[in-house]
Amino acid sequence: MINLRRPIDTRDRALQVARELFAERGYRGTSLRDIAKRIGVKAPSLLHHFPSKQQLYLAVLDQLFESVEDATKAIVWTHDSRQERMRQAVADMVDFIASHPDLVRIMWKEMADESGVGRQVLKRRLPPLFSTAVKFIFRGQRDGEFRSEVDPLHFMWGLNAITIGYFAISAMIQRLWSINLLEHAMIDRRKRELTDMVERTLFTF
Amino acid sequence: MINLRRPIDTRDRALQVARELFAERGYRGTSLRDIAKRIGVKAPSLLHHFPSKQQLYLAVLDQLFESVEDATKAIVWTHDSRQERMRQAVADMVDFIASHPDLVRIMWKEMADESGVGRQVLKRRLPPLFSTAVKFIFRGQRDGEFRSEVDPLHFMWGLNAITIGYFAISAMIQRLWSINLLEHAMIDRRKRELTDMVERTLFTF
DNA sequence: TTGACAGCCTAACGGACGTTAGATAGATTT
DNA sequence: AAATCTATCTAACGTCCGTTAGGCTGTCAA
């Protein structure tokens, strides 16, 4: 009989499908059998590639954080003013988030969940991301480009809520108002709204 | 033997404990046995008061929406300018949310979840709440108090994310930065930040 | 006084889940 | 050619879950 198995594929497909399902239904709402079925494989086969369901989830989470960290690194190195770089960062952030809808939903579920499986991963990988942004804002304040009465960390928590949180509920908005926040026009509008907000609350003029 | 049972209590206690646990661990992460144990009762006894776990959850959700609707009604009827009423509404909203931490977390989980049990409840009760706010902003725009280039519905989604979303992750912030967002000083700060933001992005001066 | 009922209990059912054991078959290495 | 390894399978185990059946007991109305 012809060999229909493509060994290396299964692991990658598992990561991809797991990401989709975890984003949609959460960790507890997704069974290994669900993931396996969508790949066209039986559940125990997944445990050949990952030691447990929990480890599979953590692998997904790690992959997401890596793409976030890559995106973050890509933002920082330009020679514009800090105000211009901030504007650009917000726009890039929206683009990135909009093109990774699964990421936003998993990340947000993990942040909002108290009994989350990924607590350790968040504890390790989230503070450095915020720290980078906080330092950036702090330097801007020192140089008089950003308002000094703004608390950088609080500002970032708010910005986090209004970008990630905003898109995390896009599925509900689609259901209730039949408006797709991930559409091109909507993303552009959101970019403008957020940039405006950041300019008005953070920038000195 | 003395009768230690206080019949009416159990139902109320169940609603209260269920609200706490659903907020903390989500619908799927909370079992009837968990809820029952915390009340000091066995699981099947809960089904004497509620026909199923799902109905218990929906009862919790209904209760939450009622308190939100009550709070909303309390805001509207003053005779100040719309700008002043908006400022007041934001402050009241923060106070309300901070004093109902369970509400925020359940509501947010429900909004972010695609397979949520409470979809129907949200579909019925969320749009009217937003509609009230949207009409208010719309009238303010007509009278020149609010910027006309702001889209009221988008603005409200953003405001929703930055208030509810912000507090929904307070447990994580406590864990990662040892800062309690629900403390008095933090709530006041948040009130000021949000009022500032709303003034700067929505108000005409 | 008695019968209905409310509120709890124990026991257990059926199903879903994560996981393990062990077999099989093709690919790779020796 | 033989041995080993890799990726899958089937079968099943133990656990947890929501829910049901049925029994007990104290309360209260007729």
How far: A7 CA to C27 C1' (Å)?
Answer: 11
Residues of A in contact with B151 (CB under 8 A): 189
**pLDDT confidence of residue A75:** 77
Evaluate the CA torsion angle A42, A45, A51, A56 in order and state its sign.
negative
Distance from CA of A72 to the nearest CA of B (A): 20
Do A186 and A94 meet the contact criterion of CB atoms below 8 Å apart?
no
Q: What is the mean pLDDT of residues A157-169?
A: 93
Q: Is A126 on the interface with B (CB under 8 A)?
A: yes
Q: Which among A70, A89, A69, A71 has a CA at the least distance from the CA of A80?
A: A89
Tens digits of residue pLDDT in B140-179: 999 999 999 999 999 999 999 999 999 999 999 999 999 9
Coil, helix or strand at residue A29: coil
Confidence class of residue B114 from pLDDT cuts 50, 70 and 90? confident
pTM (two decimals): 0.93
Q: Is A205 on the interface with B (CB under 8 A)?
A: no
Tens digits of residue pLDDT in A31-59: 999 999 999 999 999 999 999 999 999 99
Q: Is B135 on the interface with A (CB under 8 A)?
A: no
- How many Å apart are CA A176 and CA A154, to the nearest integer? 31
What single string gives the DSSP state of each residue in B103-139?
HHHHHHHHHH-SS-TTHHHHHHHHHHHHHHHHHHHHH
Q: Is B127 on the interface with A (CB under 8 A)?
A: yes
Nucleotides of D under 7 A from a protein CB: 6-12, 16-22, 25-27
Tens digits of residue pLDDT in A113-122: 888 899 999 9
Amino acid identity of B139? Answer: R
pLDDT at B2 over 70: no
Whether CB of B29 is under 7 Å from strand C: the answer is no
Tens digits of residue pLDDT in B54-104: 999 999 999 999 999 999 888 767 778 999 999 999 999 999 999 999 999
Residues of B in contact with A129 (CB under 8 A): none
Whether CB of A47 is under 7 Å from strand C: the answer is yes
Do B173 and A157 meet the contact criterion of CB atoms below 8 Å apart?
yes
Confidence class of residue A3 from pLDDT cuts 50, 70 and 90? very low
> Which among B113, B157, B177 has CB closest to A26?
B113
Q: Which two tokens stand for residue B33?
A: 């046995």
Q: Is B101 on the interface with A (CB under 8 A)?
A: no
Whether CB of A34 is under 7 Å from strand C: the answer is yes
Greater confidence (B48 vs B9) lies with B48
How far: B66 CA to D21 C1' (Å)?
Answer: 36
